[in-house]
Chains A and B, each alone.
Chain A
């Protein structure tokens, strides 16, 4: 199945993985995005994810559909989390399964790269010195300018 969701609760990677897989498939890829403890050398205490949740759900469904089409597989699942996350928590989980490995890696890679290009989600990094900052991101392609 092609499945996607944007969640406010913790992601269970095993549950995302369970949504893919088929007797035809010899390859399963699971990618996890994790909150790490430093950014550009500065110690980080946690990450706060903000999102335009309704649009993010639609965009994530579209991204999963594109990845499935590229892979020639309808076994792609992705969950993205919003809210306050601690170091080590899963912010995104992507699973894809295909008969052979190249397509599964490609599908998972496509999903994470497109998330970074166009999912309307923002993160505010909290540092050990108690400061916080919105991270610089990427301007989606269809940017308004005048």
Chain B
């Protein structure tokens, strides 16, 4: 299955991209997605092993099971206001 990953702020600079499509085995979790991204080499390895994630614009956890077509955002520590 494929999911779309969105990257913001410092994460986007590390990855050199604001979005990417990732192929994962069925049943993969958000945590597994993060490991896959970190395994890409280059700046991707500097993504934090622990990051907040949102799946389809809702906060999720590392255990959240992803589905085909999900929009998964890595959420760096937030600093609004």
A141–B54 CA distance with the chains assembled, in angstroms: 12
Residue of B whose beta carbon sits closest to that of A140:
B52
The one of B50, B60, B75, B80 that contacts A115, using a Cβ cutoff of 8 Å: B80
With a 10 A CB-CB cut-off, give which of B8, B34, B51, B79 has the most chain A CB atoms: B79
Whether the Cβ atoms of A143 and B79 lie closer than 8 Å is no
B6 contacts A122, CB within 8 Å? no
Q: State in angstroms the CA–CA spacing of A91 and B80 once bound together.
A: 9
Task: Select from chain B the residue with minimum beta-carbon distance to A124.
Answer: B9
Taken residue by residue from 38 to 60, chain B's Cβ proximity to chain A (1 for < 8 Å, 0 otherwise) reads as 00000000000111111001111
Nearest CB in chain A to that of B76: its residue: A122
* B1: chain A residues within 8 A (beta carbon): none
Q: Tell me the bound Cα distance from A143 to B77 in angstroms.
A: 10
Main secondary structure of the interface of B (DSSP, over half): mixed
- B22 within 8 Å of A by Cβ? no
* Interface size counted on chain A using CB atoms at 8 A: 36
Q: Does A143 lie within 8 Å of B52, measured CB to CB?
A: yes
Does B15 reach chain A (CB closer than 8 Å)? no
Indicate if the CB atoms of A140 and B50 lie closer than 8 Å. no
Does the CB pair B57–A118 fall under 8 Å? no
Q: How far is the CA of A122 from the CA of B12 in the complex (A)?
A: 12
On chain A, the residues within 8 Å of B54 by CB distance are 52, 55, 120
B81 in contact with A33 (CB, 8 Å)? yes
Contact indicator A120/B78 (Cβ below 8 Å): yes
CA distance A107 to B52 in the complex (A): 26
The answer to whether B78 and A122 have CB atoms under 8 Å apart is yes
Of the A-B pairs whose beta carbons lie under 8 Å apart in the complex, a sample of 8, sorted by A's number, is: A50-B8, A120-B73, A121-B80, A122-B78, A140-B77, A143-B50, A143-B51, A143-B52
A80-B81, A122-B79 known; 8 other A-B pairs, CB under 8 Å? A33-B81, A52-B8, A116-B80, A118-B78, A120-B54, A141-B59, A144-B52, A146-B62
